[in-house]
Amino acid sequence: MTEPNQVAGVLAPDGRAVLPDGDRAAPGPQESPWDIEAIRAQFPILSREVHGRPLVYLDNAASSQQPHRVLSRVERYLREQHANVHRGAHQLSAEATEAYEDARRAVAAHVGATNPAEIVFTRGTTEAVNLVASSWGGAFVSPGDEILLTKMEHHSNLVPWQLLAGRTGCVLRFVDVTPEGTLDLEDFDRLLARQPRLVAFTHVSNSLGTINPVREIVARAHAAGALTLVDGAQAAPHLLSDVSRIGCDFYAFSGHKMCGPTGVGALWARRELLEEMPPYQGGGEMISEVRLEGSSWAKPPHKFEAGTPNISGVVGFGEAARFLAELGAEAIESHEAALKRYALERLGDIDGLRLYGPRQERTSVFSFTYGDVHPHDLSTILDQWGIAIRAGHHCNQPLMGHYGISGTARASFYLYNSTDEIDALCDGLALAAEVFGGIS
């Protein structure tokens, strides 16, 4: 029988959400201006209905929605500026190139990168991790070397390293996860003593909502002689993710989770590492000179951007970064902290609901099981009431196995969600309980 009311999350005495490394979010929206209706009005999809009911979109950890200004910027590029970038001498190519590189500057600023040339555009977090595993890993990892991961990694930060292990004979090791949903830092130190070549870990768990203490982990890894890669897919949209403050060597993130288009993301890496790494793919744009006998490479980041890029996606990504910058990271964190407090209170009143994740340092991702109801059945019923959640293993099958389950339901909130939508979720869960004749 599922344990009732097992709910995570606490707040500091001043009512602010506890963040990693002792930081705290700004006061909640009730203490600072946040016009939720004005915010929501900027997202056209939020005005639609699903099955005759207002859409309640709570699947933001999978993909967020896009505001008018991002959609309009992409449309303006396609209507007025579309051309290939970097090599054209005509006006349209010059405008497309400026739009593309202006997006690089905006995305760099979003993660606190002082040098835009340290931003490599990719198809998303997945390709960014694959780039590091293939390029850096192929060049600098040898048989017997160890790569240290964690048991809470998304498949995107696991499978590329498995492929590298198959190619090179390196060994993968995994930091354990506590029953509360945090990394076991004692186990981490034990594995660090083995002197791994790289520590790759998630900033925020996409299933548990856990905010890992990134600066502490990076500092310990560097002290042990390891490089660090941080999967920032779930952090970059929600937290002030400053790579210079974190101190990592690689940081990967996606546009579609932070109000941008799908199919575009970025890898930030220290310039000296990008200089040392061989190309990821070959073709146009990434070369300096091509001869029949061999070729030389362009300087980073272009060395890693072979072929015609996803120009419209990058332009939209840049506009999304500017949109978030204008809202302000502290204001976004503050609003989400209030949602988190309210969701914890409401979900905590539901008998038979078990919420997975830590009691501190979490984001507004809520994975849960509800009695014996299968997550897919729960999601299907909620969908009939216009409520969109995610159900399944969330590309976290090893983590699900760690908890002895096949999957969870997951509701994830973002800057345009409201407490009314949390109420709608809880009402939907009550209706689901009626459909299944009660929860046990």
Is 154 contained in some domain?
yes
* pLDDT recorded at residue 360: 75
- Report the half-sphere exposure of 403 (CA within 13 A, side-chain side): 26
Residue 105 located in a structural domain? yes
Residue 282, domain member (yes or no): yes
Tell me, yes or no, if 395 is annotated catalytic: yes
Structural domain ending residue among the three candidates 297, 325, 353: 325
pLDDT at 297 over 60: yes
In angstroms, rounded to a whole number, what is the distance separating the alpha carbons of residues 234 and 410?
A: 14
Residues 417 and 339 sit within 8 Å (Cβ to Cβ): yes
155/140 Cα distance (integer angstroms): 22
β-partners of residue 121 are: 266
Nearest Cα to Cα of residue 36 among 27, 24, 26, 28: 28
Query: Do 318 and 339 sit in the same domain of this protein?
Result: no
Short-list 257, 260, 263, 231, CA closest to 390: 257
- Between 143 and 5, name the one with better pLDDT: 143
The last residue of a domain, from among 302, 325, 348: 325
Is 80 exceeded by the pLDDT of residue 217?
yes
Question: What's 386's domain CATH number?
Answer: 3.90.1150.10
pLDDT in the model for residue 28: 37
pLDDT number for residue 18: 31
Q: pLDDT band at 436, cuts 50/70/90?
A: confident
Is residue 119 included in any domain, yes or no?
Answer: yes
Q: pLDDT by residue (tens digit) across 318-351?
A: 999 999 999 999 999 999 999 999 999 999 899 9
DSSP symbol at 240: -
The residue ranking higher by pLDDT, 132 or 22, is: 132
Query: What tens digit of pLDDT does each residue of 85-101 get?
Result: 998 899 999 999 999 99
Average pLDDT, the chain: 92
**Residues 348 and 404 reside in one and the same domain:** yes
Q: Are strands 265-269 and 119-122 parallel, antiparallel or unpaired?
A: antiparallel
Burial class (CB in 10 A: 0-12, 13-18, 19+), 272: exposed
Give the pLDDT band (50/70/90) at residue 358: confident
Confidence category of residue 57, pLDDT binned at 50, 70, 90: very high
Cβ proximity of 235 and 203 under 8 Å: yes
Bridge partners of 24, per DSSP, are: 18
pLDDT tens digits for range 145-159: 999 999 999 999 999
Q: Look at residue 361 in the predicted model and tell me its pLDDT.
A: 87
- Residues 76, 181, single domain; the answer is yes
Torsion over CA: 68, 69, 71, 76 (sign): positive
Q: Encode pLDDT of 63-80 as tens digits.
A: 999 999 999 999 999 999
Whether the pLDDT of residue 175 is over 70: the answer is yes
The pLDDT of residue 59? 98
Q: Tell me: do 336 and 198 sit in the same domain.
A: no
Q: Please tell me whether residues 211 and 86 are part of one structural domain.
A: yes
Residues 312 and 338 in one domain: no
Number of domains comprising the chain: 2
The reply to whether 10 falls in a domain is: no
Q: Is 397 inside any structural domain?
A: yes
- What pLDDT was estimated at residue 12? 31
The answer to whether residue 15 scores a pLDDT higher than 90 is: no
CATH of the domain at 295: 3.40.640.10
Same domain? For 289 and 387 the reply is no
CA distance 230 to 129: 9
pLDDT confidence band for 440 (50 / 70 / 90): low
- Going across the sheet that includes 171-175, the strands are 119-122, 265-269, 250-254, 227-231, 198-202, 146-150, 171-175
Residue 88: per-residue pLDDT: 86
Are residues 45 and 90 both part of a single domain? no
Angle (deg, nearest 10), helices 91-110 and 311-327: 40
Active-site option among 170, 248, 259, 395:
395
Instruction: Report the run of H or E that residue 327 belongs to, with start and end.
Output: helix 311-327
Segment 106-135 shows an average pLDDT of 98
CA dihedral 225, 227, 232, 233 (to 10 degrees): -130
Q: Is the pLDDT of residue 382 over 60?
A: yes
Return the SS3 of 312. Answer: helix
d(CA 304, CA 281): 7
Model confidence at 249: pLDDT above 50: yes
User: Is position 45 within any domain?
Assistant: yes
177-190: per-residue pLDDT in tens? 999 999 999 999 99
- Does position 136 have pLDDT exceeding 90, yes or no? yes
Per-residue model confidence as pLDDT tens digits over 21-43: 433 333 333 344 689 999 999 99
* Domain-terminating residue out of 304, 325, 346: 325
Sign of CA dihedral 126, 127, 131, 137: positive
Q: Are residues 315 and 364 in the same domain?
A: no
Q: What is the pLDDT of residues 273-285, one digit of tens each?
A: 999 999 999 999 9
Q: What is the pLDDT of residue 116?
A: 98
Question: Token digits for 356?
Answer: 């997975």
Mean pLDDT, range 230-252, rounded to an integer = 96
11 in a structural domain: no
**Statement to judge: residues 201 and 271 lie in one domain:** yes
Lookup: tokens for 94? 């010059």
Residue 420 token pair = 């009314």
User: Which are the contacts of 85, defined by CB distance < 8 A and separation ≥ 6?
Assistant: 93, 96, 97, 100, 308, 309, 311
Q: How far is 83 from 99, CA to CA, in rounded Å? A: 11
- Note the pLDDT of residue 5: 32
Is the pLDDT higher at 18 or at 272?
Answer: 272
Domain span at residue 30 reads 20-66+328-435
* Whether 137 and 212 share a structural domain: yes
**For residue 16, is pLDDT > 90?**
no
Q: Are residues 127 and 264 in the same domain?
A: yes
